[in-house]
């Protein structure tokens, strides 16, 4: 194998597919074309590439694409907008904490939160010994024994919204991600996916404050 014309004999040599030319027996290896999908994740699917217990994963809902992986995670019972990509630069841009990409969820909670409880969500809730960053909270609908909230956060802690709502005494009934950065789930049906356009991918990089490296 050669990298940029130089023979590589050491295992573990790192290369940048966007800049380095890798060849085997003189034949250049072309990296897979970057591709990013939006999936409307149904409940009951794990957000992982594989599961040792043979449970259903989101990979069974999308086509087989070399290097495809989920960007971040949604809990098994959480539904909605999930991105999958084979573009490592995009994954890093959207998951690195310093980029603070916003995510909005529609959250049905038990009973009707008071204004004080909503303020606690907006100013930060201590979960597992650490206070969450301030969230944006909007009441969308109030029924007799449940309330639909739109909650926007930029963190990605495990089961964060479920823990936040439980901490204020209003456990989550159901949870759906409806937007990520500039992307909106829209009318994509549960279990269905679509390709992102180049313009949408560029918009995601801009939302993360990152300049996309490819032309």
Catalytic site positions:
75
Q: Where are the alpha helices (DSSP H) in the chain?
A: 88-95, 115-123, 160-167, 198-207
Contact criterion met (CB below 8 Å) for 89 and 213: yes
For residue 34, the 8-state DSSP code is P
Buried b (16+ CB within 10 A) or exposed e, 67-79: ebbbbebbbeebb
What string of H, E and C letters represents the secondary structure of 167-199? HCCCCEEEEEEEEECCEECCCCCCCCEEECCHH
Dihedral sign for Cα atoms in the order 151, 141, 74, 34: negative
Buried b (16+ CB within 10 A) or exposed e, 149-187: bbbebeeeeeebbbbbbbbbebebeebbbbbbbebebee
Contact criterion met (CB below 8 Å) for 148 and 108: yes
Both tokens of residue 28?
Answer: 């250049």
Both tokens of residue 198?
Answer: 């180049």
């Amino acid at each position: 194998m050669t990298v940029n014309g130089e023979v590589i004999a050491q295992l573990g040599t790192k290369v940048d597919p966007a800049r380095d030319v890798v060849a085997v027996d003189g034949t250049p290896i072309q990296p897979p074309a970057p591709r990013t999908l939006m999936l409307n994740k149904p409940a009951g699917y794990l957000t992982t590439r594989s599961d040792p217990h043979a449970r259903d994963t989101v990979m069974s809902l999308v086509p087989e694409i070399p290097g495809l992986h989920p960007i971040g995670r949604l809990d098994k019972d959480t539904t909605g907008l999930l991105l999958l990509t084979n573009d490592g630069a995009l994954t890093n841009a959207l998951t690195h904490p310093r980029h603070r990409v916003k995510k909005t969820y529609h959250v049905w909670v038990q009973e009707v939160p008071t204004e004080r409880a909503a303020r606690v969500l907006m100013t930060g809730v201590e979960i597992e010994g650490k206070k969450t960053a301030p969230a944006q909270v909007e009441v969308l609908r109030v029924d007799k024994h449940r309330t639909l909230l739109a909650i926007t956060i930029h963190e990605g802690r495990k089961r964060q919204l479920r823990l936040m709502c439980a901490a204020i005494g209003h456990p989550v009934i159901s949870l759906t991600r409806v937007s990520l950065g500039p992307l909106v789930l829209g009318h994509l049906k549960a279990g269905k996916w679509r390709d992102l356009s180049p313009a949408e991918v560029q918009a995601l990089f801009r939302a993360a404050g990152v300049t996309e490296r490819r032309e």
